[in-house]
Structure 1
């Protein structure tokens, strides 16, 4: 089992950060891997979507299911591909200085993919860090400059 966790403090209100970072449909705006998302219903428990991703030089369509949806603090997603299962937590907490965003990932690689575990871990850790940095930059940019308020 692979486990990764990365956090960032974003100096923006909780509701504002949650609105962008909790919704997988908006992932192409700030993640390096997700190119497009097909969603057929509003975000909520049980919703299924398809993410088109580009990773390690390959494109894939990844089915994703929303397991938990607790605005504005938590979203849990599950992605299943043959030989790859991923659980992802997106956690949001108001700190008084801004919103702490924590992404936690558990992955299980099977079959031949198990041989790529070290590469998977390095790549996933790098993408997670870059994505959260990009998310922070977008939300703290001039386009989002409204006074901070506790939510």
Structure 2
């Protein structure tokens, strides 16, 4: 078994970050490896919510099943993800800070079949991929939160230049 852990600061309120992450269908917007994600359970998102997703890997997408095993809004999501080659279980925790939200992940990876021999490689590769994915989430949420640019007053030097030319006939 391999452990993958990390954290990222997202300069957005904890409830916003939690709700966006909790809806697994949002992941393709910040994870370029994810081909699709759909919800296969009904009712509000929480313990027992299930999703079907796929990530690009080689020539064809690799399907995965995700199920939430614990859910405490806006602090914790625990889940299991089952793929043909491995099983992942772990948690995402969300902590409110004056600067925004600290998102921490902790995963246990159990490779299956012949991939068990590659267990030591899963840690470093998985850590880099997770860090990249959650940094993209941060960038996505922080960029979406920026107010739209509003036209401001025209600087004086440009106003003079505009009025110094005679109007066109």
Pair in the same fold by TM > 0.5: yes
* Alignment partner of 1:115 out of 94, 114, 117: 117
2 CA distance for matches of 1:122 and 1:56? Answer: 20
| Structure with bigger RCO (C-alpha 8 Å, 6+ apart) | 1
Aligned to 2:2: 2
Compute the displacement of 1:130 (Å): 0.7
Asked if the contact 1:2–1:108 (Cα under 8 Å) also holds between the matched residues in 2, the reply is yes
Aligned to 1:133: 135
Q: Distance in 2 between matches of 1:48 and 1:140?
A: 27
Partner of 2:36: 36
2-structure distance, mates of 1:61, 1:144: 32
* SS of match in other structure, 1:67: strand
TM-score by length of structure 1 reads: 0.86
Look up the match of 2:146: 145
Q: CA deviation at 1:125?
A: 1.2
Superposition TM-score, scaled by structure 2 size: 0.77
Alpha-carbon contact 1:32-1:127 (below 8 Å) kept = no
Cα pair distance change 1:48/1:99, threshold 3 Å: same
**Contact 2:24–2:38 (CA under 8 A) maintained in structure 1:** no
Higher strand share: 1
The whole-number CA distance in structure 1 between the counterparts of 2:60 and 2:122 is 13
Question: Which runs of no fewer than 5 residues in structure 1 stay unpaired?
Answer: 147-151
Shift of 1:137: 1.0
Which of structure 1's runs of 4+ aligned residues deviate more than 3 A?
A: 55-58
Contact 1:22 1:90 in 2 (8 A): no
Aligned residues: 145
Counterpart position of 2:157 = none
Moved more, 51-60 or 40-49: 51-60
CA displacement, residues 89-121 of structure 1 (integer Å, 9 cap, x when unaligned)? 111000122100011111111320112223322
Conserved? CA contact 1:4–1:125, under 8 Å: yes
Distance change (3 Å), C-alpha of 1:103 and 1:56: farther
Runs (5+) with no aligned partner, structure 2: 148-169
1:56 deviation in Å?
A: 5.7
Larger Rg: 2
Structure 2 counterpart of 1:18: 18
